[in-house]
Chain A
């Protein structure tokens, strides 16, 4: 394509073959996203997407963005892309954001959003009115993470210390100063415990109800785990029994959530001994950046790790990597998410979003048969490539492989994060200041028809005029 454009007239073949990244052609049958809506409004990198509520069917989400511009973040309705609010308040970049949905017990059904910023404040916003509810500015350092413990109706802020707050923004308790670097990640564990990633350490805190008044809590450091060699980048809870951490040098440790012991460790994603046929150039160009565990996600049986440019699927039962795509993207994978239908979506610094499907190897032989003859060459070529990639996988991982089923191209810069809204679609945010909503064109068309006939009925145009 590019060569054709530049050279004028030669067949576009080149790029795909040169790069080791698996590509998919223009024909993507399984890719449901055939409609996109670009939301403009941000003036800077959009870093976070948060789903606020879904009770009204129209799902809103909210974006905060960073850098040193006057801080604005926007609330959009997913369905229409309509901008509801612009929230102004922070003076520095937003570092963390968390929705605080109303608890069942509380009488006020307000959807709140908490935002923490590098200006050392936390602001609580009311999503229904778009107004600032309260601003907390008594922090000594930047709050880097926020976690809401819905069960206890409290929220935690993690900076250089850990603070516990209630809904009314009373500071319930706080720890002593931990480190200057501060807490980078927090995850809720059973038995009123939280795990906080502080540099290389993992600290377990427990919230203990104080006796003096009903709502009071005390926070207590229970344990420090120092198994990681490098900074812990990602921390995710798999289920009530396990949680997983990933570090900058590619270690992935599975922990027992109850007694905080190490259940398993996978620290050699880049090790060729695990993958004997791995391409040598990848091994040579190893750098910490390419093996850092950027993001983790999980379902009941597997943990999905975004490691460098690749995606790895780690099976908790088998305690081994069952499938991997070592160069899933041209650049670091920033966010991955597992979809219910055995699909996996990843987004990367290269500006693309890719949809993968975890397939069992046995299905493979049946796949390529019908293609090739009657299809156009574009289709045939795609499948051939996919087959080649699949064959490679076959040698590496006996069990499963990740097949590329589609990619979404729209952003011109790193895709920071995405949110999956089920059948409604997908929202991606990027450093190019845009948020793109990807939707199923067929479904949207149907919905529009429905709206159309509703409106017709409303206007009374459906009746025969005599």
Chain B
């Protein structure tokens, strides 16, 4: 537990309100030793920032042919962000790792310059001196005036947290690919325009030269050519050649291979709104679809306003001219789009990695609970296209490869790269391999993988650039992946339902240790070109980028024992003086899959007895089988009748939770809030939910949680009110002032089941008399009290329908509703709760409601509870069994039964609902007397 002063430090916003709850601090022996760096506002597993920048940012650099690597812009565009961080130096670093330089120009044996359409390469790079880690995305843009027509660029996501880069690699890669695709599309368009202009110039020049030659010819009939005439003729010839070359280039750029389009659901970047594009004044002739048609040749139709210039025979020296800026290289519309996307990326990945991971885990878990998640969860995001899919799409994956990827998906803790999806090989120059035992395994695995790899390449792409795997130092990261796939398939035969600990442990073996100083290069080698022959030339396959960092230091950092199970040891380690160095090792150790495995009971495990969360959340890859399997587990006719499952559930939830007592739960949540607040108040990282769309709902949650806290503290009859909501009885908040009523409704809305986007059972403010239909539709209503005859009429209606509703009078602070004698709500809404933050309380509520959901799920899908086991079994015995189950197995008392029954009813309705038609809203009610509660 965290002693009160610490918590208060992170609850500034509510200080005033919480004055009341300032209890005397705990005795010394009960309080946990503070995290040594807590004063810096860091969370326990955050890197102690040696970096010189304050927060993550995106850097765009260029390898300029004139001045070498140079930073172009940062996102956010704020000098404070990069601080003293040497952008120039870092640009040099990141540009230097693009080993896969694209080749453009005059290839041997070809008369004309050829364009290569090179795929971007993706690199992870670490620089411990700068304390910076970066995901680097290299791309090339075309520029007519540049050397070889290409300008190499790179976009880098720079963070002080290596694990963030590694763990979010897939997501980063997907997002940056999109941005890059957008930029390149714009560039191709601009390049094509440029070529057209150039062609016009050349054409014009040719005409002029031609005329001059003619004039000269006429003027001079001496029969021999003057040097002047010869010069002119040469010039003309070179112009002619230049025209042919440029036409060829134009043809090439226009015929950019969109064949990926057919292969998968890949979508080249398209402006969201064509109209919009038209409005921006861009010439819309060259949209991607136009580009896709190679036969298109109306060259001069596009830019009628352009007046051609005469091109001088001798162009200026390339060092004299000014290179185009990035904006000029790219169509302005696409450029701004790209910037928007990059800003979006920056926002998405802002904040501590644990925040991102928690979010991803909860998403992944929620997706699996497809049966119950509509009850209390905000499932709107589930409709969004999952990022993985997009990613796969971008890689132009064939369908079966996707399938394979799904089935292979494993809860590996590190960045998992699917071979099929990346079509890539990964080089790593490990500075140190710690776990030498593993070495024996690896060659074998690598072998098999590379074999598979080759096959893939052959199969997927005929004109792919040659694989660059070479030498012994190359390790394919995907190894882990396929290895885990193998082990999993073995161990899963026995454990079909959830990711099993065994499966996880067996993966430890093949896990690589990643030293901070090693540089990993993950690259996508396949690039596509129009002329496959061009790729025959081999390229430097791997960068043996030698780290200049101190090897010995690296060795020191790695504590040799990385027993992931041993948290205590790590604790000890973390207490050591040189925590700065050990820190990363710790984190790596914790990454091990064993910590991931208890995902099913996530709410419990990460907290130790004292309630401090020690384990950072791990990325979670959903196991698709789990979804179906979760069903398979339950209802078999004779298997479950003994009540085996419920027992387990019971012991886990009820015994555990109850004996640890209410307050421990609160503490647990408190510490959770501590973490999140730590993340948020952390000096350098501003909190950000992973998805923008969630931001509003996040704020709403916080507000609702805060209001709910206030409600349960202010109103002694909060329990029966909440019970009304949970049992499906409409609660009407009656009051004169809209603001007060709305506030109460917001507070109570977190207890309304099925409050998803579709059902919308909460109505914040109603001024017209209610009807029975309204109770069918809305479960929480804010109603205006009018002092007028009309108002009396409205109250008449209320008293008439009093059996269907509970009424909370916000003005006189009374409540009229049925009696509640259960125990569940008191855990949900304890007015003496120690929770102080709204978002924390929201999470607390959410966790209890999730438990409730699981009970309802079990109750709903237990076959023998609803249907007779044998044909002759009378209905009464089924009813008895049902009640026994609710009371004894689920441990529900009195009115709590009604809550679970109501939730079960909702589950049934949701499940049996035909896809086409919506659920017919039913109004279920009981004939129970109501009571009047006063303050």
Contact = CB atoms under 8 A, between A and B. Distances in A.
A31 interface: yes
A453 B809 contact: no
A461 B932 contact: no
B635 to A, nearest CB: 6
Interface in A402-418: 406, 409-412
A328 B364 CA distance: 59
Interface stretch (A32-40, A126-134, A158-166, A244-252): A32-40
Chain B, interface SS category: mixed
A11 interface: yes
Contact of A461 (B631, B796, B922): B631
A40 B773 contact: yes
Given A4-B816, A465-B496, A35 B925 contact: yes
Contacts of A434: 772-773
A179 interface: no
A456 B929 contact: no
Contact of A379 (B628, B811, B929): B929
A5 B807 contact: yes
A445 B905 contact: yes
Given A445-B905, A450-B867, A34 B927 contact: yes
B876 to A, nearest CB: 12
Interface string A201-230: 000000000000000000000000000000
Interface stretch (A21-29, A253-261, A289-297): A21-29
Interface in B64-91: none
B833 interface: no
Contacts of B625: 465
Contacts of A26: 802-803, 927-930
A48 to B, nearest CB: 21
B792 interface: yes
Contacts of B860: 449, 452
A388 interface: no
B800 A409 contact: yes
Interface stretch (B16-24, B432-440, B522-530, B906-914): B906-914
B320 interface: no
A37 B802 contact: no
A409 B803 contact: yes
Given A36-B923, A379-B929, A449 B866 contact: yes
Contacts of B929: 25-27, 376-379
B924 A441 contact: yes
Given A1-B802, A5-B795, A412-B771, A453 B866 contact: yes
Interface string B601-628: 0000000000000000000000001001
Contact of A11 (B807, B867, B932): B932
Interface string A70-95: 00000000001110000000000000
A449 to B, nearest CB: 4
Nearest to A351: B800
A349 to B, nearest CB: 15
B636 A465 contact: no
Interface in A32-59: 34-38, 40
A35 B928 contact: no
Contacts of B496: 464-466
A12 interface: yes
A80 B776 CA distance: 15
A449 B907 CA distance: 10
Looking at A4, A34, A80, the one whose CB has the most chain B CB atoms below 10 A away is A4
Interface residues of A, number: 54
A6 interface: yes
Interface in B743-758: none
Contacts of B632: 461-466
A140 interface: no
B812 A8 contact: yes
B915 to A, nearest CB: 12
Nearest to A442: B879
Contacts of B911: 452, 455
Contacts of A28: 927
A89 B852 CA distance: 52
Contacts of B816: 1, 4, 12
Interface string B762-776: 000000000111001
A9 B934 contact: yes
A415 to B, nearest CB: 12
A3 B909 CA distance: 38
B848 interface: no
Contacts of A80: 920
Nearest to A28: B927
Interface string B626-642: 00110111011000000
A412 B797 contact: yes
Nearest to A408: B803
A414 to B, nearest CB: 14
Given A8-B809, A448-B909, A376 B922 contact: no
Interface string A389-424: 000000000000000001001111000000000000
A436 interface: yes
B924 A449 contact: no
Interface in B836-873: 860-861, 863, 866-867
Nearest to A382: B929
A464 B811 contact: no
Contacts of A452: 860-861, 866, 908, 911-912
A436 B923 CA distance: 11
Interface of A: 1-2, 4-6, 8-9, 11-12, 15, 25-29, 31, 34-38, 40, 80-82, 376-379, 406, 409-412, 434, 436, 441, 444-446, 448-453, 455-456, 461-466
Interface of B: 493, 496, 625, 628-629, 631-633, 635-636, 734, 771-773, 776, 792, 795-803, 807, 809, 811-812, 814, 816, 819, 860-861, 863, 866-867, 901, 905, 908-909, 911-912, 917, 920, 922-932, 934
Instruction: Please list the 7 inter-chain residue pairs (A to B) with the smallest Cβ-Cβ separation, ordered nearest first.
Output: A378-B929, A449-B866, A28-B927, A2-B799, A465-B632, A8-B812, A1-B799
Given A5-B799, A80-B920, 10 more contacts: A26-B927, A26-B930, A35-B925, A81-B920, A378-B931, A412-B771, A436-B772, A453-B635, A462-B636, A464-B496
9 contacts: A8-B809, A15-B799, A26-B928, A35-B924, A38-B776, A377-B929, A409-B803, A449-B860, A455-B912
